[in-house]
């Protein structure tokens, strides 16, 4: 099952999403007034000023919610908020999470627009491509400022030991895999552009005594087959429904791990002696630090596509390490 959201969580999530949506709407309105993608045009200059101001305002508003949310969460748990310092929300605005100036993000969107035109894309479609890039930046930076502020506000509370990752559906397979994981404050919050995941503060007692019920398997089982297929791909979703471990299925598709040979899909993940390589056999040094199995390891989706029946599928999932 998934972790139940409290009233505090729901109210805060709604408020946070309202800030992000408002920023996106304002940026979209500004972009629609753009009559030229040229970086030195007056329209581009006006766009930069307006979008940067929009993101800065959203960042500050999202950050300002953080101490209120932490205090309300502690109160709901019967604990007293006693921060060792005060969070300054304005300091979470003005720059992208990676330290770049916000104006550079607008320039990236303009560059996408210009390159699309140069490639012969119709002007209306090129305009839409640039807008999509801009909205990704706007929503991501607004949400990230809120997450970073909540992380900081939680650090200031002696009662809190860390946070639990909370995934709101629909979500991608990588995010679902991280659902319910407990993180200390020294651990960064992994996210991708437009990630909708959030963090739930955890007290010291909860950290030591209560494992979260918010789990990848619980989230997967709460989804419809269509949602599962969209998040993981039809083949991998079918493998998970047959009992494959979500972590091993998703990790098999890590960047640069998947390759195709003879029309079949294989993965390099978990094929070293430190992974599943010893069970696969035929170990040999093939570059890298550890010996790797020479036996190709199919992806879970490949096994689904080639198994004759469900019994064979389950056997093969076990053989290649997808079933623990």
pLDDT at residue 286 is higher than 60 = no
Burial (Cβ within 10 Å: 0-12, 13-18, ≥19) of residue 59: buried
**CA-derived radius of gyration, the chain:** 23
Q: Span 24-53, mean pLDDT?
A: 92
Q: What is the pLDDT of residue 287?
A: 56
The most confident of the ranges 39-48, 53-62, 205-214 is 53-62
* Tokens linked to 294: 């020479």
pLDDT at residue 44 is higher than 50 = yes
Q: What is the residue extent of each domain of the chain?
A: 7-157, 224-319
- Which residue in this structure is represented by tokens 């640039």? 130
How far apart CA 184 and CA 163 sit, in angstroms, is: 7
pLDDT tens-digit map of 153-174: 999 999 998 888 888 888 888 8
Distances 214 to 44, 68, 185, 256, 286 between C-alpha atoms, Å: 45, 24, 19, 30, 39
Q: What is the pLDDT of residue 2?
A: 42
pLDDT at residue 269 is higher than 60 = yes
pLDDT at residue 66 is higher than 80 = yes
How far apart CA 282 and CA 195 sit, in angstroms, is: 40
DSSP lists the bridge partners of residue 203 as 160
Q: What is the pLDDT of residue 282?
A: 60
pLDDT tens-digit map of 182-213: 888 767 777 888 887 888 888 888 877 766 66
Contacts for 77 with CB less than 8 Å, ≥ 6 apart: 203
Q: Which is higher by pLDDT, 16 or 35?
A: 16
Least confident of 264-268, 276-280, 292-296: 276-280
Confidence of residue 1 (pLDDT cuts 50, 70, 90): very low
**Sign of the dihedral defined by the CA atoms of residues 256, 261, 267, 272, in that order:** negative
* Tokens linked to 279: 């069970």
Q: Span 297-324, mean pLDDT?
A: 91
Q: Which is higher by pLDDT, 113 or 287?
A: 113
Q: Which is higher by pLDDT, 290 or 58?
A: 58
C-alpha dihedral over 152, 154, 155, 156, to 10 degrees?
A: 90
What pTM, to 2 d.p., does this model score? 0.76
């Amino acid at each position: 099952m998934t972790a139940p959201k409290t009233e505090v969580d729901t109210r805060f999530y709604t408020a946070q999403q309202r800030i992000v949506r408002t920023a996106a709407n304002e940026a979209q309105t500004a972009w629609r007034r753009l009559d030229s993608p040229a970086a030195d045009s007056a329209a581009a200059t006006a766009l930069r000023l307006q979008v940067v101001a929009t993101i800065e305002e959203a960042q500050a508003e999202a950050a300002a919610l953080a101490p209120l949310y932490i205090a309300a969460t502690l109160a709901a748990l019967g604990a007293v908020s006693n921060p060792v310092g005060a969070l300054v929300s304005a300091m979470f605005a003005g720059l992208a999470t990676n330290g770049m100036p916000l104006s550079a993000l607008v320039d990236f969107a303009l560059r996408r627009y210009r390159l699309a035109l140069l490639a012969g894309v119709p002007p209306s479609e090129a305009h839409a491509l640039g807008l999509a890039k801009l909205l990704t930046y706007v929503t991501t930076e607004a949400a990230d400022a809120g997450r970073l502020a909540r992380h900081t506000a939680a650090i200031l509370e002696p009662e809190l030991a860390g946070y639990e990752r909370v995934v709101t559906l629909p979500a991608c397979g990588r995010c679902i895999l991280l659902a319910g994981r407990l993180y200390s404050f020294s651990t960064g919050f992994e996210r991708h552009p437009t990630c909708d995941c959030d963090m739930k503060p955890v007290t010291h007692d909860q950290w030591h005594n209560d494992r979260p019920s918010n789990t990848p398997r619980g989230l997967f089982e709460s989804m419809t087959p269509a949602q599962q297929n969209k998040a993981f791909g039809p083949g991998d979703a079918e493998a998970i429904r047959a009992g494959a471990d979500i972590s091993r299925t998703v990790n098999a598709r890590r960047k640069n791990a998947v390759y195709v040979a003879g029309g079949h899909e294989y993965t390099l993940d978990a094929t070293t002696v430190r992974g599943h390589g010893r069970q696969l056999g035929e170990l040999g040094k093939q570059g890298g630090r550890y010996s790797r199995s020479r036996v190709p390891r199919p992806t879970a989706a490949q096994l689904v596509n080639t198994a004759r029946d469900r019994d064979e599928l389950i056997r093969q999932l076990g053989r290649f390490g997808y079933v623990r």
